[in-house]
Each structure stands twice: as structure tokens, then as C-alpha cells.
Chains A and B, each alone.
Chain A
Amino acid sequence: MNNLNFISPEIFISLSIMFLLILGVFRKNGSSLIHNLSIGFLLITVILILNNPFDTAVTLFGNSYVIDNLSSLMKILTLLGGAFVLSISTKYLKISKIFLIEYPILILCSILGMMVMISSNDLMVFYIGLELQSLALYVLASFNRDQLKSSESGLKYFVLSALSSGLLLYGCSLIYGFSGSTNFNIIGNSMDSTHYGLTFGIVFILVGLAFKISAVPFHMWAPDVYEGSPTSVTLFFAIVPKVAALTVFIRFMYVPFFNMIDQWQPIIIFLSIASMIFGAVAAIGQGNLKRLVAYSSIGHIGYALAGLSVGTNEGIQSSIVYISIYMVMNLGLFSCLFMMKRNDQYFETIDDLSGLSKNHPVLSLSLLVILFSLAGIPPLAGFFAKFYVFKSVIEQSMYFLAIVGLLSTVIAAFYYLRIIKVIYFDEEKEKYDTDHSVWLKISLTFSTLLILLYFIFPSKLVEIVSRINLI
């Protein structure tokens, strides 16, 4: 019974999914109600998580499920991300005629999967969570089923994701075969670099995880899926699953595989460098903002991985700080995308932003702040995110990684500047609609202010994150 207390958030969210499904059957035209209820349920789940004791790691169900600071914080991030996505996308869904009851329910399902992933301390539990979130995401990607691109992106994501899950599963089976257990702690104790089977297992698992966070060279799906999916789903893709997958990444590397750091560190450094450079270079030629976000998110994951590759608590913390700030920046960026609407039609290319600053000064100013922050220019939040990562990287004298990373920020700055150029230096076009929902305005203001004023209290976030210690 005691165990159930700790997983009350997961139980609550499962029950609410079932409740919403039944409600959806009985209430015709109940999309709006279900939408709002699911936001409410997500927030209640956050409260339930806060209710759990902090600073103590609890393992449940025969050591297969763990509640610690890492899992609690990342679950809160996931839930809040989900709630924000739901709250700002209502209008978009209505206009795109996909305002259906399944949408919030699928998002809740995938979040449930992520919560299980985040807390898993066992290969089996992990895999169940992963599949639950992936299945929901396949459907979400092709949610706008009348559109060719959306269906295509759903299918593409499904096929490639299934392949990577297969590799991951194969890795899990190798690990199980060579260590004799699926439990992370037991695997951790039996780690021994003379077992080549274990090394192979780690590599397969790394490949699978790298796919989920779209790190180069397993990023191929991201641009197409980001472009094809409905924008609200793209936003969800860009922030929420990344947080969950990164958490799993951290847990895998630092709990079961930590003794093998010599084996996995070079791989992650490679993934990180490749993602940073590729994300920066490939985004230069993009004209579609959603594709550009895909490439930029590949680059940003590179920085988060750089923090992860360090092998210290500070490294993990910096990587979590990075992903949190990245979440806020993307939330702001997509809020702006949702505002680019004229006569019930959404625009998503860079050229559509032309001369935005003359007609919409406030929106442009927010975009300016968000884009400079994404480029990592001080004193905005994005700079501090990079700063913490490179602080932990340089602590371990990994200068090469630091210099490559910082040089690729210069390349990346180019394409962010290009958007700013279009907004501020180019000729104006027609005005966009201004009848945005309150939530959209709130989320844009909130994210912009958070990014802009982060430098006043830069230690708050770090203090919270510094309670995460895995080693």
C-alpha cells in the first residue's frame, strides 16, 4: 500500500485518462471540456508529485521503480510542458479542424509513458514506458490525417522509431544476457569492461536513445516529422519527449553504466559534437520555421549531451538546466508561431515574418529576445544555459568539446540573426490577426520575461537542480 502512495501521480493520471475517455463517449461536442479538464488533471498531478518527499530516493516494486529528485523534477517539467502545450494550442486545433477529444487524451497517454520512463529503474519498466509514449506520439504526429504531410510524418516516425526501439530492445537483451538482470542497480554492479557483450549492449541502447532525442546521426526523422505534424504537436515533440528521453539517457549512463564511462563517453562526445555542428550548419538553408526549429533542436540537444558527457553531477545538472531553459525558449518561439495567423490560416516560413516589427512591435520584440537567447547571447537565459554546460565541460579539461561547441554557436547565431534580419530589416507585409487567446499571450509574456530577466536571479534554477545527485 505504501508503494502506491508514491506512485499516486501515475495512478491519478491513468484514472483521468480512463475517465476522459468515458466522458468523451457520453458527451457529444465535449472537446472543449475534455481539453480543459486534461489541463487541470496535469496540474493536479504536479501537485501530487510535489506532495512526495524530496531529497530521498525511494525504490518501489522490488527496486524496479524509483522516485528521486531527478524523476520528480523531470516529471514536473514534462507535466508543465504538456499543460502549456494543451493550453496554447486550443485555437490552432479549432482552426485546423482537429479539435477532437482524442488529442488531449493522447497527450496524457504519452505523458504517462514518459513518467514511467523517467522513474524506471528496470529495463522492462523502461521499455513499457517508452512504448506507451511512442505509440501515442505516432498517432499525434499523423493527427491531421486529411493532410498528406501529416500522415507521412506519422508513418515515417513510426517506421524509424520502431526500428530504433528494436535496436534498443536488442541492446537490453544483450545487457540482460551478460549481466543476468534487468535491474539497473544490479546491472551497475556487474558492469565490467572486459565483457564485450555489455559494451555492445550499451552501444545499442545508446543508438536507440539517441534516436529518441534526435541526436546526429540518428536525427533523420526530426525535420520531416516536425514539418509535417500539426504545429501544436511539433511543439510537443520539440520539448516534452526530449525532457523524458534525456532523463532516461542520464539515468542509463549514470546508474547502470557508470562504471563503463570510458566506453560511452567518447560516443556521447561524438554525438554531441556532431549534433552541435550539424544542427548549426543544416539550419542555415531552411526557409520553413518548423524545419528550422527541428534543426535548431538537434543543435540544442548537442549542448545538453555535452553536459551529460562530462561524467560528474555538475555535468548532469548543467544538462538539466539547459533542457529546462530550452523548453521555455521553445515555448516562447511556438507561441509566436501560433500568432502568425491571418484569416484563419497559419504561416510558417521565414519570409512570412518579413517586416513584422513594423506591424507587431511587441511580438517582434519577444521574438528578438527569444532568438538571441536561442543563439546564446548574454545576458539572456540561453547564454546561462550554455555557460553552465561549458563550465562543467571545462572543469574536466574537455577543451576540444568546449571550443567546438562555442564555435558552432557562432554558426548557429547566423541563422537566428537571419530571422531577426527578416523581422527587423525587411519590408513589411500584411498584418496578422491579433485575436489571440489569453493563454497564448500569457505563455508568450511569461517565456519572454523569464528569458529576459533570468540574469537577475540566475541561481534559483541552479539551486533547485543542484539537488539532483546521481553519483
Chain B
Amino acid sequence: MNFPILSSLILLPTIGALFLLFSKDKNSNTGKYVALFTSFVNFLISIYLWYLFDPSTSTFQFVENREWLKGFVNYKVGIDGISILFIILTTLITPLCIISVNNTIKVRLRDFLIAILVMESLMIGVFCSLDLVVFYLFFEAGLIPMFLIIGIWGGERRVYSAFKFFLYTLLGSVLMLVAIISIYWIAGTTDIVQLYELRIDTKYQNLLWLAFFSSFAVKTPMWPVHTWLPDAHVEAPTAGSVLLAAILLKMAGYGFIRFSLGLFPVASELFTPLVYSLSLIAIIYASLVALMQEDMKKLIAYSSVAHMGFVTLGIFTITQQGIEGSIIQMISHGLVSAALFLCVGVVYDRMHSRLIKTYGGLVSVMPKYSILFMLFTLAALGLPGTSGFIGEFLILMGAFKDNFLVAVIASFGVIFGAAYMLWLYRRVVFGNLVNKDLLKIPDLDNSEKFILWSLAIPVLFFGFYPEPLINTIEVSVNDLIEMYNFNLNMYGPEVQK
């Protein structure tokens, strides 16, 4: 493959953003069409990439390797079965975000689109970089556009939330930078493929693992460093929440699989109980907190914390089912949480309130909306037939294989999940229509229908037929686990001594 398809995926949105930057008019629709066009082309390229992708091997494909920091770091990108799904998720969500700005963003539309497009470039970069420094660069650079998205277009407490988001994430990440540079001096390279083969000396692994963990735990977010997420979600504009929930959180899950398991198997084994405990706390605690929320966005934000708890749990079961389940859960959560935030956005645009008590009885005024909202609610609680089920089921299967008690506790999370999601749905959609203002609001318009259906179709499709997803990731996950176990058997006993 000579054509640098991954680099063009990364660059295309930025080129679109540059084009917007130099365009004269600031609020017209032309800018939106440009942005939509670039992101849609990017989506098509990524689908084509999936078509070209060979799922029968776990070696990295479409690799590009260019000299960058001389004699030190190469710009290296490539994908395997794990990363390609996240790239497609990114390229799918971004155009939907851009369509959704229609009703939500009233001021400085052009700047918003630029921020979204730059964000897309950086997110794709995160998922295909094969060098730790390049990864860090993309991972951190995403803070800048997200900070602006929350801060400029956010709600009332936007400044506080933007600062909290930025500083929390930065604090977590600087330790990862120390770890990355240390890895360079320990192993002589930051190239992930080479590091997989070189194996990092066992005595360094624990500290390095913790440094990476500090960054990913904040980003996931895991309890107790999850507090930035509800704030950021609540204050961000709809499109910002969607990007945050659907893709940004997945960077950490992806990081756990790619780096924590791949580079530090001995330490991962050692710290599995820690991750289990934090994940279980996140699942139970976040679910209980979600039950108490008055604000719809906050409720969904806490549900994200709980769902990401499942993801981290699944990853650290280190079983085929667990990791596959986690990846599918991340994809599914990416689609479902995006859809839920968009659903909240739909009614927020009409009523300018996110409080649950404002609503009630929406089914009679917005029947189409109610159907779609129902579908996503059920997907969020993992009803069989939706993609949410596949993920949760596989994760629990993996967990049962590894640790019975953990799996049992996690299963309670599923019940709680059903409780808060259904209760939310009941209070918003069913019941008596008390608030008379609700009578005036229209049902979904065409663009909203289009966005929600574009998310609903994959949710249902992969719910009934997850084969394409599993096929894509199977070999990569299998080889990852094999490599993990091999390393553990080679070097593990030293730890037990």
C-alpha cells in the first residue's frame, strides 16, 4: 500500500479546517457544507479502509514510517483490528456532530466547525499512531480544541468545567510523558512494534504502568478521578458532549489495551485487582449516583462512567471474551451515548432545560422522538438485540471466567443500569403532560431524524449480527493475549518470588 491512506485520514479534516479558517463569511451555511463534505469523505475513506483491511492477521497494516525527530522518534502510523473500529467510529460520529450544529450553535459557527474538524484529525491520530511520542502528541493536543468547545459554546458554568477538564487531563498525562521518555532510555525506542518485541524490563514495569494508568484513568474516567466528566458533559454543547462521550473516553480504553496490556504484562497482572476494584466501584457508585440525578445530561454522564467501568473490567480480565466485549462495548457506547446526548440535545433546543422535571408525557407530542429515545435507552441498558447487549454479555462472560465474585458484583451494575435508564425514560417520555409549554414543541425534523437513525441502524445491526465487529478484532485480540501470556510466563515468576 503506497498511498498514505492513514495520513490522509488524519490530514483531511485539518485541511477542511484550514479552508474554513481562510473563508470570509463566519456564519453562513457554506462553511457547514465544507465541513460536512470533508468529514463525510473521511467517513467514506475509513469505510474503504475497513474493506481493504485484512482481518486474518494481527500485524499492523497500512504502516507509514517517516523520520521525524531525527534519530529518536519516527512518525509511525498503522492500524490493526483493534484500532480500525475506533477510527470508523470517529469518522462516523464527526459528520453527525456537524449536522447537529444546525440548531445548537448560534454564535461563531465557523470557529466551532474548525474546532470539531481539528478534533477529528487528532482523534484519528490517537488511534493510528504506532509510536508513543506521536500518540502522546495527538492525545494531548486534543485538549486544546475541546477546551475551547466547552469554554466558548458551553452552558453557564462553562469556564469552571473547561478548566477542570483541561487541568485534570493534563495532570494525568504529564506522568505519562515522564514514562514515555523513560521507556525511550530503557528500551532505546518508542516504537510500539519494536517495544512489543523488546519487552520492557520487569523491574521498571510497575512504575511505568502506574504512570500510564494515571493518564488513562483520568481520561476513562475511573473512580475517583471521574468528577471532571459530569461537569464537562453538562456544560459542553451537544456536539461537544457527543465527541467527548463517544470518542474521547475511548482513547483511554484503547490506551489500556494497546499500552498497558501490550507493554507491561507483568505489571498489568499485578495491578488487575486494583483495576477490578476501581471498575466495580465505578459501576455501582456511578449507577447509584445516576439514579439521583435531576439533570438528564448529568445522568447520562454518570451512566458513561458506569459503562466505562465495564470496559476497564473487561480489558483486565485478559480473556478473549473480556477484551472483545470491551471493544464492542466501547463502540456500542460510542454510538449509544452519542445518540442519548443528541436526544437530550433535541429537547434542550426546544425547551432550553435539561432538568428531568421539565418534561413528562413527551410521547404524546413527540412520538417519533419517543421511539428512537426508547431504542437508545434499551441499548444503553443492554437489551438483547442491541449492540449494548453483546458488549456487556461478553465482558461478564470474561469476568466469570476470571473471577466469580467480580462478575456477580458487576452483574448488579446491569440491573442498576436498567433502573436508572428506564426511570429516566419513564419520567421524560411517559406520565402526564403537566408542563403546558411542551404542547407547542414540534417532533423531530429531518436532520435530527437522519442523525438518530444513522446511529440507530448500526446499534440494531450489530446487536443482531456482531459478526463483522468480532471478525475484525478477533485475531488481533487473540494475538495480544497470546503475547501477554507468553511474556507473563517468561518473566512473571520473578514477580511472584
Contact = CB atoms under 8 A, between A and B. Distances in A.
Contacts of B143: 377
B158 A425 contact: yes
Contacts of A44: none
A379 B178 contact: no
B487 interface: no
B19 interface: no
A390 B178 contact: yes
B302 to A, nearest CB: 26
A204 interface: no
B151 interface: yes
B285 interface: no
Given A413-B166, A414-B163, A391 B181 contact: yes
Contacts of B178: 390, 394, 399, 402-403, 406
A410 B218 CA distance: 14
A260 to B, nearest CB: 26
Nearest to B153: A425
A279 B143 CA distance: 23
A455 interface: yes
A401 B136 CA distance: 20
A383 to B, nearest CB: 8
Contacts of B363: none
A379 B141 contact: yes
A394 B175 CA distance: 12
Interface in A288-317: none
The main secondary structure of chain A at its interface with chain B is helix
B253 to A, nearest CB: 21
B177 interface: yes
Nearest to B183: A394
A455 B140 CA distance: 14
Which size bracket describes the interface of B in this complex? 20 to 34
A347 B177 CA distance: 38
A108 B137 CA distance: 41
A378 B139 CA distance: 9
Contact of A413 (B137, B167, B175): B167
Given A410-B171, A425-B158, A458 B137 contact: no
Interface in B5-63: none
Contacts of A409: 170, 174
B184 interface: yes
Interface string A391-433: 1001100010011001101100110010011001100000000
A169 interface: no
B151 A391 contact: no
Contacts of B137: 378-379, 383, 455
Interface of A: 372, 377-379, 383, 387, 390-391, 394-395, 399, 402-403, 406-407, 409-410, 413-414, 417, 420-421, 424-425, 455, 458-459, 462-463
Interface of B: 67-70, 133, 136-137, 140-141, 143-144, 147-148, 151-152, 158-159, 162-163, 166-167, 170-171, 174-175, 177-178, 181-182, 184-185
Query: Can you list the 4 inter-chain pairs with the closest CB atoms, starting with the nearest?
Result: A406-B174, A459-B70, A378-B137, A394-B181
23 contacts: A377-B170, A378-B140, A378-B141, A387-B177, A390-B181, A394-B178, A394-B181, A394-B185, A399-B178, A399-B182, A403-B175, A409-B170, A409-B174, A420-B147, A421-B159, A421-B162, A425-B151, A425-B152, A425-B159, A455-B137, A459-B68, A459-B70, A462-B69
